[in-house]
Amino acid sequence: MIGNWNTTAVRTLRSLRSTSAPMTYTLIAVCCLIFVLGPASGFTPSYGTGDALAAAQRAYFRRWGVVPADLFDGPAREALTPATALFIHGSWVHLLGNMLFLFVFGAMTEERMGRVEFTLFYLGCGYLALLGYAAANASSQQSLVGASGAISAVLGAFLYLFPSARVTSLLPFLFFLPLRFPAWVVLPFWAALQWLALDQAPSGPGVAYLAHLVGFGLGLGYAWVRYGRGTKVKAAPAPAPEGENQP
């Protein structure tokens, strides 16, 4: 059994070294592993069931997620939570929706930036996006988790670097027919939906649309400043499935 695990680990490491976007796939793998081992997946019996499981989930999200009120008025360790929260997800739908976006848009962005720059970009923008959300909701006691802010930054950078890349989108008002549009159509439309949802979102727990918008703006601004107008890449058409799940 141990030999099989060692063989699998070696093969995985070799495949990551040979791919052109190792950090994208590493981030996906880490997020999935942390979720499976956490209380939200339901795969770890040590967290119990029923009320015990619900209590474990609340404590877990509060420990590793961003609680705005604690971030600004709590102990110094709370300053790390915008980083740890990037790897925590609240449900299977939350996890898979975020990882789909990262898989689709992360690889080409990493290839353009390089693995080190992409990793720092992802973590830095994700941290600032969650920090921005917390600053706008400084008195909130709700835990915020998820890679949404970081992935939204990837979308912003992708829009600047690959505006002509073809993106396959599933539009609900067209009976989810897969249609291909350039990124400069799809991603601004996605950002507009986040803005509209932010304006209509009720107070309390829910989707952190503000973190999406902050991350998207940071990613777009970073790509514009870092690469300038003369270094945009004309990407060949690349499939990029996008559904209603939003990071």
Q: Say which residues have a Cβ less than 8 Å from residue 90's Cβ, sequence separation at least 6.
A: 40, 61, 145, 146
Given this model, what pLDDT does residue 230 score? 54
Report whether 236 contacts 182 (CB < 8 A).
no
pLDDT tens by residue, 5-41: 455 444 544 544 557 899 999 999 999 999 999 999 9
Is 143 catalytic? The answer is: no
The overall average pLDDT reported for the chain is: 82
Q: What global pTM score does this model have?
A: 0.82
Q: How many helices (H) and strands (E) does the chain have?
A: 10, 2
- How many whole angstroms separate alpha carbon 179 and alpha carbon 98? 21
Distance, CA of 188 to chain centre: 17
pLDDT tens by residue, 215-244: 999 999 999 999 986 555 555 444 443 333
pLDDT above 70 covers what percent of the chain?
A: 77
Question: Looking at per-residue confidence, does 242 or 178 come out higher?
Answer: 178
Given this model, what pLDDT does residue 200 score? 67
Is 212 catalytic? The answer is: yes
Which one of the listed residues 143, 148, 152, 169 is annotated catalytic?
A: 148
pLDDT tens by residue, 183-223: 888 898 889 988 988 876 554 445 789 999 999 999 999 99
